[in-house]
């Protein structure tokens, strides 16, 4: 399911919090199909990767954030026709996990260039704050140390939404 390597992560480094990209001590990536059951696969991939990196104690918070980011990508960033079960040569959503000595970044790439939104967007109002849906980015903000997004550049189109977790010795 996953592929290791930093070359495929190069576009994700654009816009991430400042850190030396050559100091990545671990990276892993997996393609996710355009189906909502991909969220379970993303959580399984995250558990396995964090376990390999000796970060089992961070799984609950990281998995919650990964679940929200992947769900948002599947729900809001894909055109309806791409959710059909037909096989695609390149799945439209990718999960990337990158570890430095003091940081862990979860990044989800999707084909939409629209900014992430929902109840935690700057457009949040009294009327929409209590909605059940749209709280994903609020959870991402609550459980990670910071998060952000940026459009992709070059031959890749779409955006990356990322969440940063500080690691303590």
- E strands within the chain? 2-3, 26-32, 93-99, 103-110, 146-151, 159-166
Summarised one tens digit per residue, pLDDT across range 63-100 is 999 999 999 998 887 766 554 445 545 678 999 999 98
**Residue 81, pLDDT score:** 54
The pLDDT of residue 79 is 65
pLDDT of residue 152: 85
State residue 119's pLDDT score. 37
Q: What is the pLDDT of residue 147?
A: 92
Give the tokens for residue 68.
């929200």
Closest CA to 69 of 166, 167, 165, 137: 137
Nearest to 163 by CA among 113, 151, 149, 43: 149
Whole-Å CA distances, 144 to 29, 47, 59, 165, 167: 19, 17, 12, 5, 11
Q: Which residues in the chain show pLDDT less than 70? A: 1-23, 79-90, 118-134, 169
pLDDT the model gives residue 162:
93
Q: What is the pTM of this model?
A: 0.76
What is the model's pLDDT at position 7?
A: 36
Q: Which one, of 19, 21, 18, lies nearest residue 9 by Cα?
A: 21
CA distances for 116 relative to 19, 38, 83, 156, angstroms: 24, 19, 19, 18
């Amino acid at each position: 399911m996953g592929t290791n390597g930093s070359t495929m992560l190069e576009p994700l480094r654009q816009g991430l919090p400042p850190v030396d990209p050559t100091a990545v001590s671990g990276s892993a990536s997996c393609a996710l199909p355009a189906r909502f059951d991909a969220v379970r696969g993303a959580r399984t991939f995250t558990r396995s990767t964090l376990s390999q990196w000796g970060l089992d104690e961070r799984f609950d918070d990281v998995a919650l954030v990964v679940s929200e980011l992947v769900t948002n990508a599947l729900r809001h960033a894909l055109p309806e026709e791409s959710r059909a079960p037909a096989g695609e040569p390149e799945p439209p959503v990718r999960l990337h996990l990158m570890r430095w000595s003091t940081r862990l970044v979860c990044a989800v790439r999707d084909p939409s260039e629209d900014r992430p939104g929902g109840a935690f967007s700057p457009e949040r109002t009294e009327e929409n704050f209590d909605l059940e849906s749209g709280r994903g980015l609020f959870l991402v903000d609550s459980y990670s140390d910071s998060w952000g997004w940026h459009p992709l550049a070059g031959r890749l189109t779409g955006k990356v939404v990322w969440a940063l977790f500080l690691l303590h010795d």
